[in-house]
Amino acid sequence: YSAVAYDTALSTLLAVAVYVLVKVSVDGIRQWRARISVLIVGSGPVGLTAALVAVRTGKVLKLTVLDERYRTALICRPQQIALDSRSVKFLLGLGVDFDNMEGCWHNEHFFTRIGVFQEYLLSILEQTKQKVEVKVQLGTKFTEYYLRHIPRNEWPDVIVVADGSCGDSCSVLGINSDYVMESCHAYGANATIERLDQRQVPTPEIRAHSLYFDLSAYGVEALREQRNPTAKPGFHLKIYGTFRNRYMALVCPTSDSKMVRFLRHTANSSIMKTIFHQSFNACKTDIEPRLSDMTCHHMQCSRRLFEIQLSHRRISAAYIEGDNVAVIVEGEAARVLNFDTCGVNLGIRGLESLGSFIYRTATAVDQNDILKALSEKMQHSRQLEETFRQTGLAETMYQ
């Protein structure tokens, strides 16, 4: 009996070992061969970066990038973007070579025009066509008509919506359009001016801190508050953009000082223009001209200080069960800041978990695996929004 029991146990162990070995091998081969189709709606900086992330996962068989704008409209955009050190590190991991891109470096930040950045990413995607079937459809709007004319056997497995805050792709897919607005515990104002006689080249940002303004002509004694040791630090100023398209951002932490109360509720719109005018002339670079009273009239700026708020989409990921399609929302289609200073970096933060999501979706065994991947993607989005509200302005304005 002992010999029979020993042989039976040994045979059982051998059978289990063979089964486990075969199953692991089959699962490994299945995961290695797993490929999916991805559709990205929007070819802005976030959409094209998402396309690059998808290609680098090695799990995409077919990639389609859709945008209603034509190529000329994309690469001619003059706005400047500032990629911070975290975004630069992320893009370097995707194979972006900043040495071959027009721009400049300053304090580990890379500054370039948005059109230059998009053209560079488009060129990288075109070079990957040998490994992945990449189709860039510019001048094509994502609509219900477009969806209806996709053959059933060619439907994408993943749709990434990155068509900006004004896009309506989410409504086409039936995703709830409700946003949650949360305060960043700061007040701010923006200004912009275009000077056609200046160069359209990228320039580093200029930052100034602990600024106070003489508003005694308007009946506000700010200098007395400045000497008050219990008063919070003053204003923070950022000047950015090219010499031709100059942008300014003014921000201060939430406080109840006389100056802040006055600038938040004043009905005189010329006060903020005067503040931006004086601040620019005091902090500008030596090689660019001062703002004169004549150019000041062409300046557009906020009428008063406003509360800085981050609006994020209540639902940033969804699963279309009937079509077996996973949808995620990125960039300004997912979260919008009513303060023009953070640029593309906030959108790129959300793409840090995109590669893992695509890999898990491609290797999913069943629908539950896909739903778990979507749940983790939404959790990353919520964590991203909470982190930005706590430290985002400190990194981009206060330091």
268 shares its domain with 287: yes
Evaluate if residue 142 carries a pLDDT over 90: yes
Evaluate if residue 11 carries a pLDDT over 90: no
Q: Write down the pLDDT at residue 20.
A: 64
Tokens for 392, please give them.
Answer: 């985002």
287 shares its domain with 348: no
Answer whether residue 370 is part of any domain.
Answer: yes
74 shares its domain with 99: yes
The C-alpha atoms of residue 163 and residue 333 are separated, in whole angstroms, by 6
46 shares its domain with 147: yes
131 shares its domain with 74: yes
Q: Going along the chain, which residue ranges are E strands?
A: 36-41, 60-67, 80-83, 104-106, 109-113, 133-138, 158-161, 179-194, 206-211, 235-241, 245-253, 300-301, 306-313, 317-320, 325-329, 335-337
Answer whether residue 394 is part of any domain.
Answer: no
SS3 120: helix
Q: Residue 198 in contact with residue 367, Cβ under 8 Å?
A: no
Q: Write down the pLDDT at residue 222.
A: 53
Cα dist from 226 to 244, 251, 259, whole Å: 35, 17, 10
* pLDDT digit string, tens, across residues 27-36: 554 444 568 9
Provide the pLDDT confidence category of residue 343 given band limits of 50, 70 and 90.
confident
* pLDDT digit string, tens, across residues 38-56: 999 999 999 999 999 999 9
Give the closest residue to 188 by CA, choosing from 235, 256, 149: 235
Answer whether residue 398 is part of any domain.
Answer: no
Provide the pLDDT confidence category of residue 19 given band limits of 50, 70 and 90.
low
Least confident of 8-12, 95-99, 190-194, 326-330: 8-12
Provide the pLDDT confidence category of residue 77 given band limits of 50, 70 and 90.
confident
Q: Region 198-210: what's the mean pLDDT? A: 89
150 shares its domain with 207: no
165 shares its domain with 279: no
171 shares its domain with 287: no
119 shares its domain with 9: no
145 sits in which H/E element = helix 144-148
* pLDDT digit string, tens, across residues 269-280: 889 999 999 999
Answer whether residue 159 is part of any domain.
Answer: yes
Q: Write down the pLDDT at residue 294.
A: 66
* pLDDT digit string, tens, across residues 82-106: 999 999 999 999 999 999 999 999 9
Provide the pLDDT confidence category of residue 230 given band limits of 50, 70 and 90.
very low
More confident residue, 265 or 152: 265
140 shares its domain with 244: no
Q: What is the Cα gyration radius of the chain?
A: 26
Answer whether residue 395 is part of any domain.
Answer: no
The C-alpha atoms of residue 345 and residue 347 are separated, in whole angstroms, by 5
Which one-letter DSSP state was computed for residue 233? P
Domain around 19: 1-33
Per cent of the chain over pLDDT 90 is 57
Q: Write down the pLDDT at residue 53.
A: 95
Q: Write down the pLDDT at residue 177.
A: 86
Answer whether residue 399 is part of any domain.
Answer: no
Q: Write down the pLDDT at residue 32.
A: 45
Domains in the chain, number:
3
Q: Region 173-185: what's the mean pLDDT? A: 91
Mean pLDDT of the chain: 87
Q: Write down the pLDDT at residue 340.
A: 84
Single residue among 308, 338, 354 that ends a domain in this structure? 308
Inter-helix orientation angle 45-56/354-362, to 10°: 50
Answer whether residue 396 is part of any domain.
Answer: no
Q: Write down the pLDDT at residue 384.
A: 93
The C-alpha atoms of residue 112 and residue 103 are separated, in whole angstroms, by 4
The C-alpha atoms of residue 232 and residue 190 are separated, in whole angstroms, by 21
The CATH number given to whatever domain includes residue 381 is 3.50.50.60
Provide the pLDDT confidence category of residue 380 given band limits of 50, 70 and 90.
very high
206 shares its domain with 162: no
88 shares its domain with 133: yes
Single residue among 308, 327, 361 that ends a domain in this structure? 308
Centre a 10 Å sphere on the Cβ of residue 85 and count the other Cβ atoms it contains. Answer: 13
Provide the pLDDT confidence category of residue 232 given band limits of 50, 70 and 90.
low
Single residue among 308, 335, 360 that ends a domain in this structure? 308
Pairing of strands 158-161, 245-253: unpaired
DSSP 257-313: -HHHHHHHH---THHHHHHHHHHHHHHS-TTSPPPPHHHHTT-EE-SS-EEEEEEEE
